[in-house]
Amino acid sequence: MTMISNSASVRCAGHTVTRQEVEDFLYTEADILDHWDYDGWLALFEPGARYEIPTTDHRPGWSPHETGSFVDDDWDLLRARVKRLKSRKAHAENPHSRTHRLVSNVRLSEGDTEDAFRVSASFVVHRARDGHFDAYVGWYDHLLVPTEDGLRFRLRRSVLGHESLAAGARLSFIL
């Protein structure tokens, strides 16, 4: 069983994971994504992981699989997404958007299984593309697992705080 030892750490699968470790992990991920290192990003997931972006009408407790999602990638789709983004076939991201990510309010809590724990955090992603500058705000609701190689995503969920997305808005990059 995963237990919360205090607000600054969790005990999970025989490891004590601190908020500082999780913050460093999330900051590293943000840097990897802002530098379009998708192989590096994929390496932050455990095999079988998921990547989700629920629709903007998503509410806590709703299943994004049942209520709709902008992104609902299982492991195979996640790897295919990375492969596509690295190729010239990703027309919406060729050339790449310029992004800058801010992550804050990182909080840890126990997971549903003894080998994983939950992380919530706020994000702002600034994106420059085709002469437009957009800001995407929301929060992360991740499930992380400690491994021999460090923390890894079992679930990476980005929940937008927007009431809706502008017509023609493209989530062709990793949010």
pLDDT in tens, 111-122: 889 999 999 999
Could you write out the three-class secondary structure of 111-151? Answer: CCCCCCEEEEEEEEEEEEECCEEEEEEEEEEEEEEEECCEE
> How many Å apart are CA 81 and CA 69, to the nearest integer?
15
Query: What is residue 38's predicted lDDT score, i.e. its pLDDT?
Result: 94
User: Could you tell me the sign of the dihedral formed by the alpha carbons of 37, 109, 5, 20, in that order?
Assistant: positive
- C-beta separation of 4 from 17 below 8 A: no
pLDDT, tens digit (0-9, with 9 covering 90-100), for 136-153: 999 999 999 999 999 999
Instruction: Return the amino acid letter for 49.
Output: A
| Under-50 pLDDT residues of the chain | 1-6
Query: What is residue 74's predicted lDDT score, i.e. its pLDDT?
Result: 96
List all residues 6 or more positions away from 57 whose beta carbon is below 8 Å from its beta carbon. 67, 68
Query: What is residue 1's predicted lDDT score, i.e. its pLDDT?
Result: 44
pTM for the full predicted model: 0.90
Average pLDDT of the chain to the nearest whole number: 89
Query: What is residue 142's predicted lDDT score, i.e. its pLDDT?
Result: 97
> How many Å apart are CA 175 and CA 160, to the nearest integer?
9
Query: What is residue 2's predicted lDDT score, i.e. its pLDDT?
Result: 44
**Residue written as token pair 């992603």:** 125
